[in-house]
Amino acid sequence: MATKSETNSALISIIASVFIFLALVSVTNASASHEEEADRILALPGQPEVSFHQFSGYVTVSEAAGRALFYWLTEAVHQPSSKPLVIWLNGGPGCSSVAYGASEEIGPFRINKEASGLYLNKYSWNKFANLLFLETPAGVGFSYSNMSSDLFDTGDRRTAEDSLQFLIRWMDRFPRYKNRPIYLTGESYAGHYVPQLAREIVHYNTKTKHKINLKGFMVGNAVTDNYYDNLGTVNYWWSHAMISDKTYHQLMNTCDFRRQKESNQCESVYYYAMDQEFGSIDQYNIYAPPCNKSDATATATATGPTRRDMHLPHRPHSIFRKLRGYDPCTEQYAEIYYNRPDVQKALHANTTGRIPYKWTACSETLNRNWNESDNSILPIYRELIAAGLRIWVFSGDVDAVVPVTATRYSLAQLKLDTTVPWYPWYVDKQVGGWSEVYKGLTFATVRGAGHEVPLFKPKAALELLRSFLRGEPLPKS
């Protein structure tokens, strides 16, 4: 039997251990809080006054290579602690979530035509969620690597792995988000990034006690499967009278849509269609007027070549996947605004001034040198449907780059049972698009929207987010 003295000693030892533990927790939290505060944005140049909090900065994902990814967090307008975290990725590959997602689509601000300041987006997704914009992989936007070879040797796998490391380390910096419901969203080539990152998270969760609370993902006009995407694209061109019967049959007969590099004969037909038959249209919204350079304050000299100047093939997906997203001149405003030293300082971006190139909306270097790409994302869909994630796919129906026909052909290969048959859904008593709910996946079109759905149909896109987060079908009336 222990003596009174021994009992007291044991009690003192336990109390001391508790105090040490609490002190360590306090130091850890203080450190996290210090890191978080260092990333706080006080105000961006020309920014209107807002009530929500913003943070931005870098998270190192590889110490050996010196790779660091840039993020921008805009918290929810009301009760952010009760709202989920929505992570947004843009595609390309090589395009910036700051340039597109944050500044043209779902973020709280838009850049004015003079690139002198910002104005509010009344359909910002931070009405319903905390928004985290991630520039991935290294070399996109403000994200960087100290190994220049990384820009010539990257692909899907490293992008997914680095994005997972970012998320793990970012949540250490922002511990209040560790148990928060998380949803991944994005568009275009993020049709690869988003499901691939979701799979990385699901696999990571099987190996750790500190699980990431991933609930689901949503992608728009998403690159999904080489063969069916390309087949659907050519069919869209023909069915929307963009190409002649002769060119359509030549493409169908000479192109092998499964190949990553097409034959010279196929490419010559493709470029003939673009140069001689498409005419001066914006392929990212075939019914919208293209940007008139004389109307844009920013010029090609100031900002680099525009998308229509470049005509770059999207290498991983053969000649039918061109670089970048929609450009009604807004990209040009972004390229002036985010190259301003005062803007970079406010964002804690390029803090050392050692990034050896200008900030651009998309990296031509990354796009041209993308060296590893999944031929099909459909096997990942099957795996993640089985894992019970909430999965939504939406498609603006006037996009000719990753058109609705491509997405429908691809999703049809999943052979899912229908739970809610095809129906029109509504916004402001108007048909917003059409939807069908399958066992494990919801598909929706957005009527009259181009490649960047939230840019063309912001109210409809906000309804998409609201219904997705609630896990409810889109409204039938």
Find out whether 410 and 225 touch, Cβ atoms under 8 Å.
yes
Q: Residue 152 corresponds to which tokens in the numbers above?
A: 């010539």
Active-site pick, 62, 124, 188, 363:
188
* Residue among 447, 450, 440 at smallest CA distance from 463: 447
> Which helix or strand (DSSP H or E) is residue 61 part of?
strand 54-62
Q: Which of 399, 410, 435, 467 is catalytic?
A: 399
3-state secondary structure of 185: strand
237, 399 contact by CB (below 8 A): no
Dihedral sign of CA atoms 151, 153, 159, 162 in order: negative
d(CA 338, CA 321): 27
Residue 307, burial from CB neighbour count under 10 angstroms (0-12, 13-18, 19+): buried
C-alpha span between 226 and 321 (Å, rounded)? 10
Match 């109307």 to its residue by tokens: 295
Q: Give the angle subtended at the CA of 320 by the CAs of 317 and 323, to the nearest 5°.
A: 75
Beta strand spans in 151-287 (E): 182-187, 214-220
Is residue 245 part of the annotated active site? The answer reads no
Of the residues 192, 314, 317, 451, only one is catalytic, namely 451
Please state, in angstroms and rounded to a whole number, the distance separating the CA atoms of residues 329 and 332: 5
- CA 403, 216, 189, 114 torsion-angle sign: positive
- Which of 218, 139, 188 has its CA nearest to residue 316? 188
Q: How far apart are CA 343 and CA 338, in angstroms?
A: 6
Distance CA 92, CA 187 (A): 9
DSSP letters spanning 147-160: -GGGGGSB-HHHHH
CA triplet 449, 453, 457: central angle to 5 degrees?
A: 65
Q: Annotated catalytic, 240?
A: no
- Distance between start and end Cα atoms, the chain: 76
Q: Which segments of 382-477 are extended strands (E)?
A: 390-396, 418-427, 430-438, 441-446
Tokens 């209107």 — which residue? 48
Are 184 and 393 in contact by the 8 Å Cβ rule? The answer is no
Catalytic machinery residues: 188, 399, 451
